[in-house]
Amino acid sequence: DYQVSLVRYFGDGSEECDTSGEARPNIELDDWGLALWAMADYVERTKDTAWLGEKNYRGTMYSAARDHVFRTLAACLDRAGDGLVVTRDTGLWEQNDEPYQLYASSTLAAVAGVRGFAGLARAAGDAAAAAEAETLVPKLAEGFRRTFVKNGITMGRADGAARNRIDGALLNALDFDVVPAPDLFGRMEALVTPSGGYRRVNGTTDYEAQEFVFIDVAFARMLLKKGDRARAEKMIGRLTGRVAA
């Protein structure tokens, strides 16, 4: 009953929830927000609003996004004071060795995705859905601040666990320009690896201790936004040099 997979997706339409032997499925709710953000980004850059009306097996690209991504996401929100957050899941790092938690990454993606969907709805002439989305955006931003920002420190998980206290996924807060997180740049050094790149989180597994190119590139983009071109170019130069080798 949803359009975009939350787990591993295969070309034949099947899904695979987990291969780690855990009893509960790995669920990454950030996928819905990211899908809506990507659709909106495409339409904004190309002005290809006709694509929204193209047919698929559920109806049109737009109606599938509205009914089976946006509204499905909206049904998976929890109250956080006067705001809203995406409900508990395994986060984008598939941390399925623990019970489901509230992850900042899922709510960040929701803010960006719902904001983007409002523009899609306007482009499709659906004023009611646009208003529905526009009402949710400030509530999600408020829920994020209330849940994940503690004493000026932005955390990757609501419970403040050491594993996600500094989390590379928080760079999406700056990349999507959805919530302020001025503390991130100084704190990212806690994730630096001996290679000079950055890991995802402070977890203790081999998977979590590795440098992640995804984080390196995201951090370089943030450095460019801050005007630190020299440091960004050094980081990207190191990556491209290793790729060339």
Tokens of 23: 């009893």
Report for 13-27, 135-149, 168-182: range of highest mean pLDDT: 135-149
Give the model's confidence band at 106: pLDDT under 50 very low, under 70 low, under 90 confident, else very high. Answer: very high
Residue 174 clears pLDDT 90, i.e. is over it: no
**For the segment 192-238, what is each residue's pLDDT rounded down to a tens digit?**
999 889 999 998 888 899 999 999 999 999 899 889 999 999 999 99
CA distances (Å), 181 to each of 82, 115, 175, 236, in order? 20, 18, 11, 23
Of residues 243, 201, 239, 196, the one with CA closest to residue 217: 239
pTM of the predicted model as reported, rounded to 2 decimal places: 0.92
Lowest average pLDDT, out of 16-20, 71-75, 136-140, goes to: 16-20
**Neighbour count for residue 9 (Cβ, 10 Å):** 13
Q: Do 17 and 26 contact (CB within 8 A), yes or no?
A: yes
Tokens of 238: 């190191």
Of residues 184, 178, 175, 182, the one with CA closest to residue 156: 184
Lowest average pLDDT, out of 28-32, 38-42, 156-160, 225-229, goes to: 225-229
